[in-house]
Chains A and B, each alone.
Chain A
């Protein structure tokens, strides 16, 4: 079976560091990578709505000199005829050198990876994993803070269904000197299995609170998340919890000068637009960093490096 990336733990800490180093090198010397994936094709199979992730993958492949085959929406593909994920993966493997797939069903990317004969990158499987968002988050933290350890990381909003939060906790739990502050309504707390596996087993200190303002002053990172309508079966619950935390310039007055405010985007209303002008707002840098990390990941999985040479 070829190497695929379904979740962040599929990458060793050394591989994560190497990916971030490659991304930094791409940022510094983009021309050296302009033809790295010449004559290679990326298939983007998006069976669930997405703007930034799909465009990010496609931009990443184009900037590496490769080409893109695209499927968007289950309604326009063979999935609408009832084709299985496994068969889709086998079929697309005949056309493309690498696949990036988003699917509303949890575990779909793993099913695809077990059937595909080319690498599969999980671009989000329901509320389960979204590893490339985590790669973007890690590069952003490393670039903004200069390190991935010795930080107090606040995670705020929907910590129950927010897959990016679970992935980030898992990924960051590998680094030393971290403290997590988990800020959410009671109904949207981090699931116990995530806390058990990533925090308790590794004796990483964490606190849980419902009040952002109580803790904002002690944070190095504030990772905001959207309360996701699509994860709720019940519209009433969604509406009640949607406005739980809204970050404003007023609230940021209590925060550190070097705080890094992050968000996986899209936002609904949880960060006021006025915060965008604050130098501590890093969420659009995350978007850009995501493209560089996806470039680095595509190169790694295709076994290529700058200039298109094989590793």
Chain B
């Protein structure tokens, strides 16, 4: 399967197989008016299988979202058809307005313009908790 290489844009590589759709949704790529390619289940020497997302435009992406979904992913910035920058991803300490608290008793469900903020509570388990009510984050 061939997907054209991009001239200016972003390639999110080494996404664990199955995570690309989550990233696509959380990064809001479905709302973009630019070409986006999502390639899933590609054979990978490092991961066995991996997903790749190619965005054919130099737009800002929230690195924290990528880190939350898959801290093993890499972000390659492409300019003029060349690799201009490679970004390493880590679990972010805080996620702002990425997830919604699912606790129906949380103040964030009703308070006007209150940010949805989650903080990393357990790095090993990759667990985030709402800063307002401390409920565990769920995708």
Which residue from A111, A125, A127, A193 sits with its C-beta under 8 Å from B111? A111
Q: Please report which residues of chain B, range 85-125, place their CB below 8 angstroms from some CB of chain A when the two chains form the complex.
A: 103, 105-112, 114, 121-122
Residues of B within 8 A of A84 (CB): 111-112, 114
> Given A107, A127, A193, A196, which contacts B107 in the complex, CB threshold below 8 Å?
A107
Residues of B within 8 A of A (CB): 103, 105-112, 114, 121-122, 129-136
Give the total number of A-B pairs whose CB atoms are below 8 A apart: 55
Bound form: Cα–Cα A107–B121 in Å: 17
Q: In the complex, are the beta carbons of A85 and B111 less than 8 A apart? A: yes
| A126 interface contact, C-beta 8 A | yes
6 CB contacts below 8 A, A to B, read A84-B114, A85-B111, A106-B135, A107-B106, A108-B107, A126-B133
- Among A85, A86, A106, A196, point to the contact of B106 (Cβ < 8 A): A106
**Structural contact, B111 and A106, CB atoms closer than 8 A:** no
A107 to B109, CA, bound (A): 11
A162 to B44, CA, bound (A): 49
Contact A110 B111, CB 8 Å, known A105-B106, A126-B105, A127-B105: no
* Minimum CB–CB distance for B112 against chain A, Å: 4
A66 within 8 A of B: no
A85 and B134 alpha carbons, distance in the complex (Å) = 18
In order of increasing CB-CB distance, the 3 nearest A-B pairs are: A107-B132, A106-B133, A105-B107
Q: How far is the CA of A127 from the CA of B121 in the complex (A)?
A: 20
A128 contacts B114, C-beta separation under 8 Å? no
Complex Cα gap A127–B114 (Å): 20
Secondary structure class of chain A's binding surface, majority of residues: mixed
Flag if B111 contacts A128 (CB, 8 Å): no
Among residues of A, the one whose C-beta sits closest to the C-beta of B133 is: A106
* Contact A85/B107 with A107-B130, A111-B114 known, Cβ cut-off 8 Å: yes
In the complex with contacts A85-B107, A104-B105, A111-B111, A193-B136 CB distance below 8 A: yes
- Is A110 a contact of B112 with CB atoms below 8 Å? no
Known: A107-B106, A110-B132, A126-B105; 6 extra A-B contacts, CB below 8 A, are: A84-B111, A105-B106, A105-B133, A106-B132, A110-B131, A125-B107
By a CB distance below 8 angstroms, the chain B residues around A126 are 105, 133
Query: Shortest distance in angstroms between A232's beta carbon and chain B's nearest beta carbon?
Result: 12
The answer for the CA separation of A193 and B121 in the assembled complex, in Å, is 10
Q: Which B residues are CB-close (under 8 A) to A125?
A: 107, 133
- List A112-163 residues whose CB lies under 8 Å from chain B: 125-128
Chain A residue at minimum C-beta to C-beta distance from B108: A107
Is the C-beta of A102 less than 8 angstroms from some C-beta in chain B?
no
Q: How far is the CA of A147 from the CA of B53 in the complex (A)?
A: 60
Q: Is A263 an interface residue (CB 8 A)?
A: no
Is A103's beta carbon under 8 Å from chain B? yes
Of A84, A107, A193, the most chain B CB neighbours within 10 A belong to A107
CB of A128 within 8 A of CB of B133, answer yes
* Residues in chain A near residue B136, CB distance under 8 A: 193
Q: Once bound together, how far apart are the Cα atoms of A103 and B132, in whole Å?
A: 13
Chain A, Cβ-Cβ closest to B104: A233
Q: Is B109 a contact of A105 with CB atoms below 8 Å?
A: yes
A187–B32 alpha-carbon span in the complex (Å): 45
Contact A105 B110 (CB under 8 A): yes
Chain B residue at minimum C-beta to C-beta distance from A233: B104
